[in-house]
Structure 1
Amino acid sequence: MIGGVLNLDQLFTAINETIYMTLVSLVLATILGLLIGILLYCTQTGGLFQNKIINRVIDVIINVLRAIPFIILLIILIPFTKLIVGTMLGATAALPSLVFA
């Protein structure tokens, strides 16, 4: 909206771009996730391609990547945590993020 006028062409272009980015990232993340999951499953003890080293490395990478959204949430909620709890450090400071997670 520029000068109180809504430009529908720009709005529809932005909506189309958003849908495109969402669908492409969804497809790529699904394919990558399935491949990594299958590799993790096949390399476990007793798996089809048993390999403890590869399995452990993939497991660590997955667990680190899974924590990133929560770390971002912790950072975003720092001002709110400071306001409510009075501190940004310690177990008590993590409570607001755990409640909203």
Structure 2
Amino acid sequence: MTRIIVKEIIFDTWNKEHIKKHGVTEEEVKETGGNLIYHKRTYKGRYLLTGRAGRRLISLVLIRQGEGKYYLITARDASQKERRKVYEKESKKQNS
């Protein structure tokens, strides 16, 4: 699996307001971008990334804008399926 390194997340008025509706802060998005555990490519060239912000598991949907730069589409609490993927990946890491 290709490794994704997020150096910068691009915010604008629209996505700041959108993530606020999901109860996620800009700081949590930045923290999640630095603590990625699971990612996959989705439709239209988007990426679904799941990581930790403190004890919270957050999923980000991003579009690549350049080397390490991503535009934020949305951020929300990870779904049950996404949390399961993270727990599986973390348990494999602990067992190896």
Calculate the TM-score normalised by the size of structure 1: 0.21
Q: Which protein, 1 or 2, shows the higher relative CO under an 8 Å CA cutoff with sep ≥ 6? A: 2
* TM-score, normalised via structure 2 length: 0.21
More helix by share: 1
Larger radius of gyration: 1
